Structure 1
Amino acid sequence: MSDSRDELLTRVLGFAASDGLADRSLREIATGAGTSHRMLLYHFGSREGLLTAVVGAMEAQQRAAMTALAETAATPAELMTGVWRAVSGPEVRPFVRAFFEVFALATRGAAPVPGLTASWLDDAERAGERLGITTDRAMARLGVAVSRGLLMDLLAGEDPAEVDAAHDLFVRLAG
């Protein structure tokens, strides 16, 4: 019985959460997910296609977390801080590394990822509506860019307390 694409993606996400993907070959990822590299190629086309699917799944989960946080957040600042905590924790860093690998591929045209930022902006608008505010797309784009830059600092080994302080400052300046 062959695995479905969704089943494989779920297993790859589990492997990525514990072992990361950025420096893994397709064969290593397949072994870690309990499948063959041929099955991954069949369902995802290439290592880049697999990474793009992983990033897409994680981004969707993180945007869903933002939407859920908007239900309970009292202010935009509370929402921004909650989203930052959800995307910057040590448990999601393997996915953040994969995101930046896919992002680098996209900048070279090797693995275009349509809507990589637009989907965040659309969901931020919906989150803003739940908070009763109108979201400025340019400010939301700036927030995404600042968060991505700070995530790069974390991955490069910068002091998490200093990076969090920089995000807190951005939240205050944006408010």
Structure 2
Amino acid sequence: MYPFLIVISQFGDLGFVVYAKSTLVINRESLLRWEKPQAVKGVIGAAIGVAALAGIAGAMGNGQQQQPTAPAVQSVTYSNCRTEEIPFETQYEGEAGQYGYTETVKQQGVAGSKKICKPSRSGYDDKVEIIAQPTAHIIVRTPKPAPQPIQQQATHRVGAICRDGWRSYATGRGACSHHGGVGEWLYE
């Protein structure tokens, strides 16, 4: 069975039905309206009869089905190529930690490259070809341990060692005044 396509167009006052291959063309819009029921029914009946005869004739024909012809494809060429760098990504492994972290490079990143060519016809996208994939830069973060508590020095002076070696129990400005001055303050 052939598919039928009804095409409606108007050419002046001429109204007629044409059958060519598997397309039914009715060239007058008024023939499709129901203003003249008898004329329309007659035209539709004639069109169906012609279509049926064409279907039978096609079935009895040489048995070859007609293949639709594909439209001619115009080729597109690509030229005016340039090379661009593909930047690498930086990935982090490990945790930062509460007290900071140290970083170590596990793998050095390497940029990739791609070739981009322009099409010869407008309406086409650039052609992109990956030459080398980038290698990720990997950094490992190692958490720092908690800081050790610092021993604070006693702020209470208990004396001094004089420069000549004597020990003085004085804690003020006059300590070791007759022994060459204070060499070191002593704290508790």
TM-score interval (norm. to shorter): under 0.3
Q: Counting strand residues as a fraction of each chain, which structure ranks higher?
A: 2
Q: TM-score, normalised to structure 1's length?
A: 0.23
Q: Normalized against structure 2, the TM-score is what?
A: 0.21
Larger Rg: 2
- Which structure: greater helix fraction? 1
Highest RCO, 1 vs 2 (Cα 8 Å, sep ≥ 6): 1
